[in-house]
């Protein structure tokens, strides 16, 4: 029996009682006599119970209509006393119990005392328990109990309460007839329970059911139903929730439509009008964030402000409405940047928190909103008090949120952002670690497919980027890109958050470009940032920031590629950023500094004085606007110092120079020791001190500079490029001015080098980075030689040259000894070394897909992780007994064994001096031969002469004799430039070395084999052919059989190699290669080899269409020697892709090295320029001959430039005649065989034909 039915029953009973008492002539004046008549069959006097019930209903209604708190207390008291007076089995008792539960529920809704909702459930449960299921009132009692459980779930978040609410409401709906007027309300209640569980668990089925039940409730309700506005609003809430999960705009538009109808149907004085206005405002704000329309956010503010205005003081929902109004002001502030909106957001959010009881279920949201508002104002004004308030309120919000609450991830992410903001300001590493912890938890707690996941992923990526900026750990930047890329992938095209996420992803690619220098990363940064700008309206508050970011990327691309249009775009973006930003905005200093830097760059190129003046002005404004203690102030100070120094160089104004030093010094003082940019500031300060020294001549200024460089190179963090530059400057000035120890400086520089030329990068990227440190090893060795530390000089030349080749050799290190100690570790090492080796050979930009279906980005990250694992395994191996020096650079004790088969002479040619360092067989020390008559400039001049001569004869590729034959010298020109060059090399270089070593004018028949290891531009010069050919006994070949080696370690790597027993020779010939000149001489060449091989030596011949890349590779596996008579290709941008042109394409070095050949012997490269390197990387031996050494062939015959097709068979015939005598393969005599073959060729054609006989050279053992 519901309350209305009970009232009707009481009235009817009262009327009958009065009639019967009158018929009996009873006195009916006393009311209690009437009640006694009605309940005459009961033993108890219950008239008072019914009166108390009436009192309870009266006070409950009065309280619901806005009455005093005492009204609900009187209602509960009346119902409680009524329950105690009703007989236990009376039919009316369950209704009274239910109404008592409702009174407790109403008081809970108003005041939030948790005990009230507990009591409500208790009494409603008893009402259900004492009512038979067949009773007409049973469905209503079930629905009321379900509603009570729903209220407690909303407060405590216990899933069991939600399950019970759904259970009881589902039973109520099933038991309610279709025609019952209460069915629409019960359907809506059931939909609301599914809605609540969706908010808790995020299950899509729950929100779909919520929408379904609420639509049915509206369809069944008559148009004039008084609760129809409530149900429209409720349906709108569920549609909006589904929109947030799935992102379907139609759901959001329908939500606004239904909520607008709810407001329209609600009278001005209605108690629910504020609730519905607030709800409508929330939906408008959601659409604002989706479409970016200002009308929507203005409507949101308007609707929510009306809701607050119409709400009476003390209303239980007022706090929530204030907090929501604060949110809308925050949103409008973020769009328009008006500080008044931000201040109002804080004001309303603070009011919401202060009027809410501590156990209010909405308090965590209110605290979080207040935290966000303070965070926005901190970002705008930079006041640290705002940052502390933001973190304080955000921490409170997270602390009181249950661990399984659906909104916990968002609150964790928001708190993470607050700590990240603080880190950006104060640079305390603990803040960024805390931020990362919170952001990671947020993502872990969020289900795949959840609408909020992209936002949380992007935020997590931003935190990783911040930590990378500080610590420079590659893992951080890779994870940043990974998470942000996922966020973009999960964001729909029409989502207003897409520009922000695109820009954020671009920033991370930009950050990785600065660490690794890979142009592909920079191009991706520009691509994503351009997309973000295209999708952004001109009045968007973040446009200035995104323009700033895009300008940075354009600026870096200009620096990398030198395209003036990129610099112009940089200035345009920076200017727009400044123009769009109001004075006092927290980001304005960033934009000003960027604009100044761009104008400064243009000044350096075009020399327009207005540019450098504008640069100084912009940077000065940036510094003045920066709050004290700002994390970026050191950067802006140092940048301002650089601008003043540039202007000093132009105007020679001492005030500019003094300001440059002052600002840079301030930057250093304000930067913590663990900051990644400290090495930059120190290097800049040192450079300014050097400029001061050149201006003032005070030697103490150089001492100060050296101290700065030394401190910079010793920093524990920072980009290795800057650390190495600092160490090199330290070493250079220490050497020049005898200040500090240059040996320490260069030791530091060489220790940093592997971090810059990291084998976690692709091979072509490593070669690109090597251009930044060209000549370091030569410079360091010269400093050591100057201090008579010859062994140290040799060690440094080994360590700092052929770096990429040495890294590849490391990956092929024999592990037999490790196998005997720790087989599992050896196995892991082999696996990871192979992965790093294979991945490192790949170019960064490929047309083919990476292995295992990985994206290019995933493959690159995988390679870096493998490289990191490799480094960890090396450390593990070094912990094993006897392996403490595993893979460390060879020291002299090891290097001296390179001379076991003959003297090895390294020539170091630096700008300051030129020296030969020889290791003689059996010697335990280095023999030093100074070369005072040779110099760096002479070497450069000789290289220029050689290039000019070769260019004159067009000696680029092997070709037929009539095409290839040199032009006769001009009869008017008495000097052949090549002959002149060889004479200079003899007089100033080769002869002094031979004299110094005692090999000049030695007894005939005892010519030693000398292996030359040349540095710098010397490596391009034909030292083996040095001589004055118009004088008897004045040429290199009279006193030495010459070989070359890229490094001494290369010779050592083959001393213990196992050999195959006469496995035979593979001869490959390409007389006719598609796209190249025909080489008919290759047929004759291969015929000579076949003749000398006879039956005693295995011989395989692959020619023309049979010589495919795969066929040749397979055959190389089975043969110890290989002879390649074909055209060759030198790829200077990616040496791994150099190789030999075969019938179906290129046989590349990378494909050869992947086979990891063992037990090989001679590789005869009868092709063009197979021993010619890259002029920009002279110390890296970037040529095919060196590549074949690294591929496993210890002995290589090659050519320095193109050879004549008619000469190649002659040389091959003479070489193999000696090497295959007696039917055996004498690989160790390859150098001697070539020496005699070239001697015979020279005698045959005449020594004046230098271009024909000089190019043949031998490399290796």
* Three-state secondary structure of 364-426: HHHHHHHHHHHHHHHHHHCCHHHHHHHHHHHHHHHHCCCCCCCCHHHHHHHHHHHHHHHHHHH
Cα-trace Rg, the chain: 43
Q: What is the pLDDT of residue 84?
A: 83
Distance between CA 1020 and CA 1035 in Å, rounded?
19
In this structure, are residues 662 and 705 in contact, taking their beta carbons and an 8 Å threshold? no
Backbone angles phi, psi at 317, to 5 degrees: -95, -5
- Alpha helices by DSSP H, listed for 1170-1229, are 1184-1190, 1207-1219
Distance between CA 481 and CA 314 in Å, rounded?
49
Residues 1029 and 1135 in one domain: no
Domain termination site, one of 846, 866, 886: 886
Residues 908 and 880 in one domain: no
Low-confidence ranges of the chain (pLDDT < 50): 1, 3, 7, 9, 11, 14, 17-18, 21-22, 25-44, 840-854, 956-973, 1056-1058
Residue 1011's nearest CA partner among 917, 1140, 1109 is: 917
Residues 7 and 115 in one domain: yes
Query: Which three-class secondary structure state does DSSP give residue 918?
Result: strand
Residues 32 and 160 in one domain: no
Residues 909 and 1017 in one domain: yes
Q: What is the pLDDT of residue 844?
A: 38
Residue 92 corresponds to which tokens in the numbers above?
């009316």
Q: In the beta sheet, which residues pair with residue 1198?
A: 1257
**Residue in this structure with the two tokens 């920031």, named with its chain if needed:** 545
Question: Helix and strand tally (H, E) in the chain?
Answer: 54, 14
- Give pTM, 2 decimals: 0.68
Domain termination site, one of 467, 492, 511: 511
Distance between CA 748 and CA 996 in Å, rounded?
33
Residues 1072 and 1045 in one domain: no
- Output the CA angle 876-882-887, nearest 5 degrees: 60
- Alpha helices by DSSP H, listed for 841-967, are 856-878, 892-895, 936-953, 961-964
Residue 1188's nearest CA partner among 1099, 1123, 1092, 1256 is: 1123
Residue 1188's nearest CA partner among 1251, 1261, 1103 is: 1261
Distance between CA 92 and CA 50 in Å, rounded?
10
**Residue in this structure with the two tokens 């705009």, named with its chain if needed:** 249
Q: In the beta sheet, which residues pair with residue 928?
A: 917
Q: Containing domain of residue 834, as a range? A: 816-886
SS (H, E, C) 245-297: HHCCHHHHHHHHHHHHHHHHCCCCCCCCHHHHHHHHHHHHHHHHHHHCCHHHH
**Sign of the torsion angle spanned by Cα atoms 760, 762, 764, 768:** negative
Question: What residues have CB less than 8 Å from 1061, skipping those under 6 apart?
Answer: none
- Alpha helices by DSSP H, listed for 673-822, are 678-696, 699-713, 720-737, 742-756, 763-770, 776-786, 790-800, 803-810, 816-821
Distance between CA 501 and CA 96 in Å, rounded?
58
Distance between CA 39 and CA 339 in Å, rounded?
71
Residue 317 corresponds to which tokens in the numbers above?
């929902």
Residues 1168 and 1238 in one domain: yes
Residue 672 lies in a domain: no
Distance between CA 42 and CA 877 in Å, rounded?
95
Question: What residues have CB less than 8 Å from 340, skipping those under 6 apart?
Answer: none
In this structure, are residues 527 and 556 in contact, taking their beta carbons and an 8 Å threshold? no
Q: Which long-range contacts (CB under 8 A, 24 or more apart) does 839-843 make?
A: 839/762, 839/863, 839/866, 840/759, 840/761, 840/762, 840/763, 840/807, 840/808, 841/763, 841/1136, 841/1150, 841/1153, 841/1154, 842/762, 842/763, 842/1150, 843/762, 843/763, 843/764, 843/1134, 843/1136, 843/1137
Residue 194's nearest CA partner among 242, 144, 145 is: 242
In this structure, are residues 260 and 280 in contact, taking their beta carbons and an 8 Å threshold? yes
Residue 876 lies in a domain: yes
Give, in order, the Cα–Cα distances in Å from 345 to each of 32, 348, 351, 584. Answer: 60, 5, 10, 19
Residue 455's nearest CA partner among 253, 245, 295, 197 is: 245
Q: What is the pLDDT of residue 25?
A: 47
Question: What residues have CB less than 8 Å from 750, skipping those under 6 apart?
Answer: 776, 777, 780, 796, 799, 800
Q: In the beta sheet, which residues pair with residue 820?
A: none
In this structure, are residues 370 and 346 in contact, taking their beta carbons and an 8 Å threshold? yes
Pairing of strands 1009-1014, 927-930: unpaired
Distance between CA 727 and CA 740 in Å, rounded?
12
Q: What is the pLDDT of residue 357?
A: 87
Residue 998 corresponds to which tokens in the numbers above?
């005692």
In this structure, are residues 1192 and 1225 in contact, taking their beta carbons and an 8 Å threshold? no
Residues 184 and 76 in one domain: no
CATH number where 99 lies: 1.25.40
Backbone angles phi, psi at 914, to 5 degrees: -135, 130
Residue 1067 lies in a domain: yes
In this structure, are residues 324 and 286 in contact, taking their beta carbons and an 8 Å threshold? no
Residue 1205's nearest CA partner among 1065, 1093, 1086 is: 1086
Query: Which three-class secondary structure state does DSSP give residue 632?
Result: coil
Residue 459's nearest CA partner among 501, 521, 429, 399 is: 501
Q: How many CB atoms lie within 10 A of CB 903?
A: 21
Residue 292 lies in a domain: no
Residue 64 lies in a domain: yes
Burial of 426 from C-beta contacts in 10 A (0-12 / 13-18 / 19+): middle
CATH number where 139 lies: 1.25.40.10
pLDDT tens per residue, range 1063-1092: 799 999 998 888 788 888 899 999 999 999
Distance between CA 530 and CA 453 in Å, rounded?
24
Residues 5 and 108 in one domain: yes
Residues 1239 and 1168 in one domain: yes
Residue 482 lies in a domain: yes
In this structure, are residues 839 and 856 in contact, taking their beta carbons and an 8 Å threshold? no
CATH number where 1091 lies: 3.40.50.1460
Pairing of strands 1009-1014, 1195-1199: unpaired
Q: What is the pLDDT of residue 14?
A: 46
Distance between CA 183 and CA 180 in Å, rounded?
6
Domain termination site, one of 1019, 1050, 1081: 1050
Distance between CA 1072 and CA 249 in Å, rounded?
65
In this structure, are residues 1194 and 1227 in contact, taking their beta carbons and an 8 Å threshold? yes
Look up residue 181 and give its DSSP letter: T
Question: What residues have CB less than 8 Å from 676, skipping those under 6 apart?
Answer: 469, 470, 471, 472, 717, 718, 719
Residue 677 lies in a domain: no
Residues 1116 and 1240 in one domain: yes
Residue 628 corresponds to which tokens in the numbers above?
């004290």
31-61 burial code (b ≥16 CB/10 A, e <16): eeebbebbbeeeeeebbebbbbbebbbebbe
Q: What is the pLDDT of residue 814?
A: 60
Backbone angles phi, psi at 1141, to 5 degrees: -80, 115
Residue 826 corresponds to which tokens in the numbers above?
């050896």
In this structure, are residues 794 and 926 in contact, taking their beta carbons and an 8 Å threshold? yes
Residues 1190 and 1245 in one domain: yes
Residue 369 lies in a domain: no
* Tally of structural domains, the chain: 6
């Amino acid at each position: 029996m519901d309350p209305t039915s009970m009232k009707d029953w009481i009235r009817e009973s009262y009327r009958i009682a009065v009639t019967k008492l009158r018929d009996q002539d009873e006195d009916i004046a006393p009311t209690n006599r009437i009640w006694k008549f009605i309940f005459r069959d009961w033993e108890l006097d219950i008239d008072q119970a019914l009166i108390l019930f009436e009192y309870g209903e009266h006070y409950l209604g009065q309280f619901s209509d806005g009455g005093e708190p005492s009204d609900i207390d009187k209602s509960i008291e009346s119902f409680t006393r009524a329950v105690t007076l009703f007989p236990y089995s009376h039919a009316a008792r369950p209704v009274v119990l239910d109404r008592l539960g409702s009174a407790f529920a109403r008081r809970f809704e108003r005041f939030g005392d948790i005990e009230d909702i507990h009591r409500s459930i208790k009494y409603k449960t008893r009402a259900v328990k004492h009512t038979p299921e067949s009773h007409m009132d049973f469905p209503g009692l079930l629905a009321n109990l379900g509603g009570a459980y729903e209220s407690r779930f909303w407060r405590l978040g216990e899933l069991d309460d939600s399950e019970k609410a759904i259970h009881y409401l589902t039973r109520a709906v099933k038991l309610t007839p279709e025609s019952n007027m209460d069915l629409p309300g019960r359907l809506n209640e059931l939909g609301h329970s599914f809605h609540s569980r969706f908010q808790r668990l995020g299950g899509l089925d729950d929100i779909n059911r919520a929408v379904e039940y609420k639509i049915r409730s509206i369809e069944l309700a008559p148009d004039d139903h008084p609760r129809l506005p409530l149900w429209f609003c409720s349906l709108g809430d569920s549609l909006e929730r589904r929109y947030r999960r799935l992102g379907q705009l139609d759901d959001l538009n329908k939500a606004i439509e239904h909520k607008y109808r709810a407001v329209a149907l609600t009278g001005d004085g209605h108690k629910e009008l504020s609730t519905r206005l607030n709800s409508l405002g929330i939906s408008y704000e959601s659409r604002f964030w989706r479409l970016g329309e200002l009308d929507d956010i203005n409507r949101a503010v308007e609707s929510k402000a009306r809701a607050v205005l119409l709400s009476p003081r003390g209303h239980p929902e007022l706090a929530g409405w204030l907090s929501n109004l604060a949110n809308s002001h925050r949103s409008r502030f973020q769009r328009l940047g008006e500080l008044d909106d931000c201040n109002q957001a804080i004001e309303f959010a603070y009011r919401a928190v202060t009027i809410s009881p501590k156990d209010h279920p909405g308090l965590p949201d209110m605290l979080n909103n207040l935290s966000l508002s303070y965070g926005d104002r901190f970002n705008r004004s930079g006041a640290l008090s705002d940052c502390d308030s933001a973190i304080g309120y955000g921490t409170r919000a997270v602390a009181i949120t249950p661990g399984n609450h659906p909104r916990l991830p968002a609150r964790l992410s928001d708190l993470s952002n607050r700590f990240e903001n603080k880190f950006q300001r104060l640079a305390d590493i603990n803040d960024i670690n805390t931020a990362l912890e919170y952001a990671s938890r947020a993502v872990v707690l969020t289900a795949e497919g959840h609408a909020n996941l992209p936002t949380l992923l992007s935020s997590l990526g931003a935190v990783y980027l911040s930590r990378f900026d500080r610590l420079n750990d590659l893992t951080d930047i890779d994870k940043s890109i990974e998470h942000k890329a996922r966020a973009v992938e999960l964001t729909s095209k029409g989502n207003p958050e897409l520009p922000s996420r695109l820009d954020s992803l671009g920033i991370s690619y930009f950050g990785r470009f600065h660490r690794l220098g890979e142009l592909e990363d920079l191009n991706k940064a520009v691509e994503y940032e351009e997309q973000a700008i295209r999708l952004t309206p001109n009045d968007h508050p973040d446009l200035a920031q995104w323009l700033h970011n895009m300008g940075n990327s354009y600026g870096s691309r200009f620096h990398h590629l030198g395209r003036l249009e990129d610099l112009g775009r940089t200035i345009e973006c920076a200017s727009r950023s400044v123009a769009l930003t109001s004075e006092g905005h927290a980001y304005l200093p960033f934009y000003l500094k960027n604009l100044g830097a761009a104008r400064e760059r243009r000044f350096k190129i075009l020399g327009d004085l207005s540019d450098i003046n504008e640069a100084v002005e912009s940077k000065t404004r940036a510094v003045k606007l920066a709050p004290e203690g700002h994390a970026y102030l050191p950067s802006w100070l140092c940048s301002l110092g650089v601008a003043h120094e540039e202007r000093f160089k132009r105007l020679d104004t001492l005030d500019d120079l003094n300001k440059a030093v002052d600002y840079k010094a301030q930057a250093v003082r304000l930067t913590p020791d663990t900051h990644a940019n400290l090495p930059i500031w120190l290097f800049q300060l040192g450079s300014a001190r050097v400029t001061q020294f050149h201006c003032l001549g005070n030697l103490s200024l150089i001492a100060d500079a050296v101290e700065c460089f030394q401190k910079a190179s010793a920093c524990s963090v920072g980009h290795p490029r800057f650390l190495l530059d600092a160490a090199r400057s330290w070493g250079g000035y220490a050497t020049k001015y005898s200040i500090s120890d240059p040996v320490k400086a260069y030791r530091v520089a060489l220790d940093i080098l592997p971090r810059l030329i990291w084998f976690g990068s692709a091979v072509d990227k490593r070669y690109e980075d090597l251009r930044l440190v060209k000549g370091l090893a030569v410079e360091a060795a010269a400093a050591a030689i100057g201090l008579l530390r010859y062994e140290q000089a040799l060690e440094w030349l080994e360590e700092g040259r052929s770096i990429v080749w040495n890294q590849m050799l490391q990956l092929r290190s024999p592990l037999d000894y490790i196998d005997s100690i720790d087989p599992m570790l050896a196995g892991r090492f082999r696996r990871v070394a192979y992965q790093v080796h294979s991945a490192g050979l790949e170019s960064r930009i490929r047309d083919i897909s990476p292995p295992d279906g990985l994206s290019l980005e995933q493959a690159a990250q995988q390679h870096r992780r493998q490289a990191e694992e490799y480094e960890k395994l090396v450390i593990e191996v070094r912990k094993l007994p006897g392996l403490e020096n595993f893979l460390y650079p060879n020291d002299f004790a090891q290097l001296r064994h390179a001379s076991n088969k003959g003297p090895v002479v390294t020539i170091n040619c630096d700008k300051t001096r030129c020296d030969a360092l020889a290791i003689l067989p059996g010697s335990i020390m280095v023999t030093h031969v100074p070369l005072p008559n040779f110099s760096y400039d002479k070497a450069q001049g000789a290289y220029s002469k050689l290039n000019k001569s070769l260019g004159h004869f067009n000696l680029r590729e092997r070709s037929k004799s009539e095409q290839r034959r040199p032009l006769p010298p001009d009869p008017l020109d008495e000097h052949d430039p090549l002959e002149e060059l060889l004479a200079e090399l003899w007089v100033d270089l080769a002869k002094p070395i031979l004299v110094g070593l005692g090999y000049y004018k030695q007894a005939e028949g005892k010519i030693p084999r000398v292996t030359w290891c040349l540095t710098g531009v010397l490596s391009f010069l034909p030292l083996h052919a040095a001589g004055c050919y118009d004088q008897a006994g004045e040429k290199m070949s009279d006193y030495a059989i010459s070989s070359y080696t890229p490094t001494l370690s290369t010779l050592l790597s083959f001393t213990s190699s196992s050999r195959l027993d006469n496995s035979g020779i593979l001869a490959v010939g390409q007389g006719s290669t598609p796209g190249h000149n025909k080489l008919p001489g290759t047929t004759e060449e291969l015929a000579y080899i076949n003749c000398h091989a006879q039956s005693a030596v295995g011989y395989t011949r692959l020619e023309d269409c049979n010589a495919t890349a795969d066929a040749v590779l397979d055959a190389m596996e089975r043969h110890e020697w290989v002879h390649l008579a074909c055209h060759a290709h030198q790829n200077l941008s990616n040496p791994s892709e150099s190789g030999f042109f075969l019938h179906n394409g290129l046989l590349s070095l990378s494909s050869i090295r992947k086979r990891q050949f063992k037990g090989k012997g001679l590789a005869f490269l009868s092709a063009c320029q197979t021993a010619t390197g890259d002029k920009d990387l002279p110390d890296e031996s970037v040529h095919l001959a060196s590549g074949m050494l690294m591929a496993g062939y210890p002995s290589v015959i090659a050519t320095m430039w193109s050879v004549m097709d008619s000469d190649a068979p002659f040389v091959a015939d003479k070489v193999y005649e000696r090497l295959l005598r007696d039917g055996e393969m004498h690989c160790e005599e390859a150098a001697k065989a070539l020496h005699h073959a070239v001697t015979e060729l020279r005698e045959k054609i005449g020594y004046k034909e230098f271009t024909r006989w000089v190019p043949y050279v031998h490399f290796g053992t």
